[in-house]
Amino acid sequence: MKKPVIIAVTGGSASGKSTVVNEILEKLQLECVTILMHDDYYKDQSSLSLESRAKINYDHPNSLDNDLFYSHILELLKGNSIEKPLYDFVKNTRKKATETIKPKQIIILEGILLLTDQRIRDLADIKLYVELDDDLRFIRRLKRDIDERGRTIESVIKQYLTTVKPMHHQFVEPTKRYADVIIPNNVKHDVAVDIIVSKIKMILGE
C-alpha cells in the first residue's frame, strides 16, 4: 500500500473541527479514510476516584498519551491495524473496550492539542486550524457538554474559565503558526475545503 496521507485538523474546543472533516469527507467521496480522535488518547485514570478525575486539567498537553498516539500512527503507516482506546467522558477514564482500526489510504487526525507535539506535526502532510470566536465556541461547548456528557451548567462554566480558556490561549491558539491552512468557521468555508480536497487528490495521484 502506498504511504497514507495524514491530515491533522485542530482548533479550539467546539470550533467546528468535525464539521470541516465531514465536509472534506463528503467532497472526497472516498471510503479509504480513517479518523483518529486525539480525545480517545486521554490517559487512563481508572486508578483515581471520580472526584480526583474531575480535577484533572484536560486541556493541558500532559493529559494526553501522545506516545501511544504517535506509535499507533506509525503502525498504521506501516500497514498494521491498531487497537485504539475509547474514552468515557462521563466517567473521565478509558473504557475497557477498544476499537480495531485498519490502515487506510487517508488518515485524519482530529484534536485541539494535535500540533503541540512536534512528532505529530512532522508526520502530517496537511495541517488545518479551524478558528472560531471564543464566545461562539463557549456556547457550543456548553450545549454539547450538557446534552452529550451529562454535565451541569455550573461545572461547564467553571471548567471553561479555569482551564479551557486559559489553556486555549497558552497551548492551542499558538499552534496556528504550524498550520498550512487556517479556516474561519463563522463564514462559509467551501473554497478552503475545495483547496484541501484538491491537495489530497494531488498527493494521492502522485
Position 60 scores a pLDDT of: 94
Q: How many residues does the structure list for the chain?
A: 206
Position 203 scores a pLDDT of: 84
Ranked by mean pLDDT, which of 46-60, 61-75, 131-145 comes out on top? 61-75
Position 25 scores a pLDDT of: 87
Q: What is the pTM of this model?
A: 0.89
Q: Tell me the domain boundaries of the chain.
A: 5-205
Position 75 scores a pLDDT of: 97
pLDDT at 165 over 80: yes
What's the CATH fold of domain 5-205? Answer: Rossmann fold (3.40.50)
CA distance 59 to 66: 14
Ranked by mean pLDDT, which of 30-34, 51-55, 98-102 comes out on top? 98-102
pLDDT at 62 over 90: yes
Find the Cα–Cα–Cα–Cα dihedral 39, 168, 118, 110, rounded to 10°: 30
For residue 106, the cross-strand partners are 5, 33
Beta-carbon contacts of residue 124 (< 8 Å; ≥ 6 apart):
6, 7, 8, 109, 114
pLDDT at 188 over 90: no
Position 35 scores a pLDDT of: 92
The pLDDT mean for the chain works out to: 91
pLDDT band at 206 (very low <50, low <70, confident <90, very high): low
CA distance 159 to 92: 14
pLDDT at 187 over 90: no
Query: Shortest CA distance to 193 belongs to which of 124, 106, 104, 128?
Result: 128
Q: pLDDT (tens digit, 9 = 90+) per residue, 167-182?
A: 999 999 999 999 999 9
Instruction: Give the DSSP H/E element, type plus range, for residue 51.
Output: helix 50-54
CA distance 133 to 140: 11
